[in-house]
């Protein structure tokens, strides 16, 4: 059994119009949401073995804050291929980097993240910023992920849902 966490980067700032899309940082709310989502994963004992992340500044900051709050000790792998990636690009990066890891997290962007959840699980779900889709697969190797008809969306956590508790 493999576990895949698909996260959309946290809320970014549009304050500095001189920055390119790739350079946009997180805004205060985004930083808080990333921290809260990391605490959530830690409390549920779903800390990934590997984090693959887009090279966009907002995604990098999300990954670093998340890793800190969930006590992730491994190296975060940053990939240009995950910046505004299509679902096939995301799957390629998982199979390129993940081997024996049981739980892999991918931090990226929409619409690719939402489309990947739909392709894998058949569920059409909205992934607002900092949301995490938790997908399980009855496979032994990540290369088999698209061949698994037992893929399940186990949970979907959105920051706004956490604030209601």
Domain boundaries, the chain: 2-163
The Cα 74–Cα 90 span in angstroms is: 20
Q: To 5 degrees, how large is the angle CA 143–CA 46–CA 36?
A: 125
The number of CA neighbours under 13 Å toward the Cβ of 64 is: 11
What does the pLDDT look like over 119-144, one tens digit per residue?
Answer: 999 999 999 999 999 999 999 889 88
pTM of the entire predicted model: 0.95
Cβ atoms within 10 A of the Cβ of 17, count?
Answer: 5
Determine contact, residues 79/52, Cβ cutoff 8 Å. Answer: yes
Spatial CB neighbours of 38, under 8 Å, sequence gap ≥ 6: 65, 66, 67, 68, 69, 70, 72
- Mean of the pLDDT values across residues 151-162? 93
What does the pLDDT look like over 14-45, one tens digit per residue?
Answer: 888 888 889 999 999 999 999 999 999 999 99
Q: Is the pLDDT of residue 165 over 70?
A: no
The arrangement of secondary structure in 2-163, i.e. its CATH architecture, is 3-Layer(aba) Sandwich (3.40)
- 164 pLDDT band, cuts 50/70/90, is low
């Amino acid at each position: 059994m493999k576990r895949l966490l698909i996260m959309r980067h946290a809320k970014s700032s549009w304050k500095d119009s001189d920055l390119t899309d790739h350079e946009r940082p997180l805004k205060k709310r985004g930083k808080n949401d990333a921290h809260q989502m990391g605490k959530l994963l830690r409390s549920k004992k779903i800390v990934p073995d590997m984090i693959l992340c887009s090279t966009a500044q907002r995604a990098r900051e999300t990954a670093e804050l998340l890793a800190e709050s969930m006590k992730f000790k491994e190296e975060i792998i940053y990939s240009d291929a995950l910046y505004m990636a299509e679902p096939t690009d995301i799957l390629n990066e998982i199979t390129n980097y993940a081997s024996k890891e049981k739980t892999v997290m991918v931090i990226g962007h929409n619409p690719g993240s939402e489309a990947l959840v739909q392709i894998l699980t058949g569920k059409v779900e909205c992934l607002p910023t900092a949301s995490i889709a938790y997908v399980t697969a009855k496979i032994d190797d990540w290369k088999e992920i698209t061949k698994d008809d037992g893929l399940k969306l186990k949970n979907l956590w959105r920051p706004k849902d956490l604030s209601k508790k």
